[in-house]
Structure 1
């Protein structure tokens, strides 16, 4: 493992949009743990120095002792040097499809844990396929999706299944977000848009990748959780809902697959949805999503989407990203509907002879999901890997966050820093 003279944590890509917010949030977290040693990394030393100067002025904290590391995703030697000087690398450089693997490889070679905020299934699953064994041998953890996509979903399933008195069969999640102030300007940064464009464009890669990652299919568990109609009215949240297009389902599946194979637990089936404010907004969302999907299938379409994000997102996306006021006024809630049985069978492959007879409704809530909550979750994930590696699986490897942090105190840490995980309702269905 890492030598004692390494920095505890390095934020890589610190001068980017997500990186700047990660630095800001980490300064706040440092008040609780002033003894931690940390640094920031990126391509430009001048920009890194300016970032520390600006953050020092804004926070009133003395950041003169924060280390600066020059590292570039196009320079493997610089990445290896960075990893060799850190116990944990917090990677904020995306799209990870293009820039993630270099950092993952350097962290494994250098013996540093790695966390990132990727919402890109192709990247995450390919890293698990190619580097899981090497990471285990080196004793380091590689954990993606440690931000808003998909910490609430994956750890939410883990948390509420632990509260379930019995055996869970399935969970449906419903995501909603809202703002306490009128929207002015963009709501999402261009980097998220860019990742989405490439992710949808290359979605066809996933079936072959998954056949290699999981050559053996899971047993058939009943009752099967079938997808609802693409547009449906949910009684759980009393709203029109659409399938959630993000990576939550694939991330949760990876964790559940791990629990089944390593801990002999029945895997929980999961379907994620997103709430819409009205039927009209749902129909408009379907229209925009359809245009987006078609355009990603052609080189010219992808080029237009990337060159003109404001036009094709109706002003929701920009290179500048949302304002600080907009981010702080935005809140999110993810509702979980878990169904299962009050009795747990002895073997994970056994099927119950009766329909589910128990239900739990839970909620995860927070503020500023895109960048504030995301960065807090990312940093706390990194600190948990730093402090509680003995509670994480198999002394190393590539994992989804639910599998990586199920037995740690990460949920408790999240609840101390703006998140809530709460059981809303429990009922017997007999």
Structure 2
């Protein structure tokens, strides 16, 4: 079926949820005139209450026939329904089979690995671009490194070597959906040693682990003085909660592009804090969160105090949120570069809605500018690339790269 024969340009699945509604509203306010958008979920009444006056498609996350029919009606599927390992597998499979482009918000390494194994070859055959992680996880990381590499290449300064993303500042709420995804992954890995090994491998999302360079350990739970990364960084560096996922997405991008970033490319992510004590506190808290989900009595307490899926902050809190990420690298020529990815709005809600929405719009309206990898289970950098960079800049996000 050609794009012209499909009823919709994009379907927003999960539009009645908190983040789904934000994405739907961003699209209705920013999509070019004539873009055919539909809302989808399992409850017609909830979708109608959004008041967006768009067509409605009803499909349950466990009804594969309904999901396949829905996928065949649209050019692009936008889904915010997670945890994805629990609810997302049938929809990703349906999109791969029907040649429908797909974007989501997953930060779940096991789901992404399963999707690669199940859908990559099918999507290559049908031409579907299955692009996971098109929100705060992992567009700033993946697109930031993409832009950094492009500037280094344009300047003729070789390839990237040691590269570090530093979350320089961030303000926003904790996503209940992210918490639920973490909770679900802990449950799964607790029961299966093999899955724990998959989750721990720095190349767990790579196309071919045996082809990856042997660069030694690339740990995620890092703590160090800021000056160890760059003399401009004040304070200390602590573990960043999404490093264990984002780093694997970026490494997959490098491999899918034939290691264009470099065979000596090492990548890590950290959070800037004021002191060594603060860094230790962050590290202890993150370790404690994982342990807490695995121990029933502690889990009971965490479930009562952490935000629930589907909930989110007020509009005022969303507007006051922001984040700035700086990515530092040394090239094979010895040059130093920095990329910056900066956005207003709560990272996991307002900013994520913009990033996911613009990723979908690029797939619909910028087909002639997409990377030439074709179909497959791709990443934001390898599936959308510069078309997404331009759309995000036009939406007000700061994305730059320069020699320092």
* TM class by smaller structure: 0.7 to 0.9
Structure 2 counterpart of 1:116, from 104, 114, 118: 104
Map of 2:16 onto structure 1: 15
Q: Closer, same or farther in 2 for the Cα pair 1:78/1:303, shift >3 Å?
A: farther
Q: C-alpha distance in 2, partners of 1:37/1:226?
A: 44
Shift of 1:71: 1.1
1:218 corresponds to 2:212:
yes
Structure 1 position 137, deviation (Å): 0.9
CA distance in 2 between partners of 1:153 and 1:211 (Å): 15
1:288 matches 2:289: no
- CA RMSD between the two structures: 2.6
Change (3 A) 1:249 1:264: closer
Q: 1:177 to 1:128 in 2, by over 3 A?
A: same
Contact 1:329–1:367 (Cα < 8 Å) also in 2: yes
Report the CA distance between 1:301 and its aligned residue: 4.2
Residue matched to 2:184? 198
1:409 CA drift (Å): 1.7
Deviation at 1:112, TM superposition (A): 1.3
| From 323, 335, 343, the counterpart of 2:314 | 323
Aligned equivalent of 2:43: 44
Cα 1:229–1:16 change in 2 (3 A) is: closer
| Matching residue of 1:332 | 323
1:75 equivalent to 2:66? Answer no
Deviation string, structure 1 residues 48-107 (Cα, Å, up to 9, x no partner)? 1111x2xxxxxxxxx43x211111102112211211111000011001010111110111
Q: How does 1:396-411 map to 2 (within 5 A)?
A: 396-406=375-385, 408-411=386-389
In structure 2, the residue matched to 1:349 is none
Of the structure 1 ranges 317-326 and 1-10, higher mean CA displacement relative to structure 2 is found in: 317-326
How far the C-alpha of 1:174 sits from its partner, in A, is 0.6
CA distance in structure 1 between the aligned counterparts of 2:279 and 2:198, rounded to whole angstroms: 32
Structure 2 CA distance for partners of 1:360 and 1:86, relative to 1, 3 Å: same
**5+ residue gaps, structure 1:** 54-62, 311-315, 343-356
1:243 maps to which residue?
239
1:93 and 2:93 correspond: no
Residue in 2 that maps onto 1:172: 164
Query: Would the alpha carbon gap of residues 278 and 202 (structure 1) be closer, same or farther in structure 2, given more than 3 Å must change?
Result: farther
3-state SS of 2:33 partner: coil
- Residues 103 and 134, structure 2, Cα contact 8 Å, conserved in 1: yes
Task: Structure 2 unaligned segments of length 5 or more: list them.
Answer: none
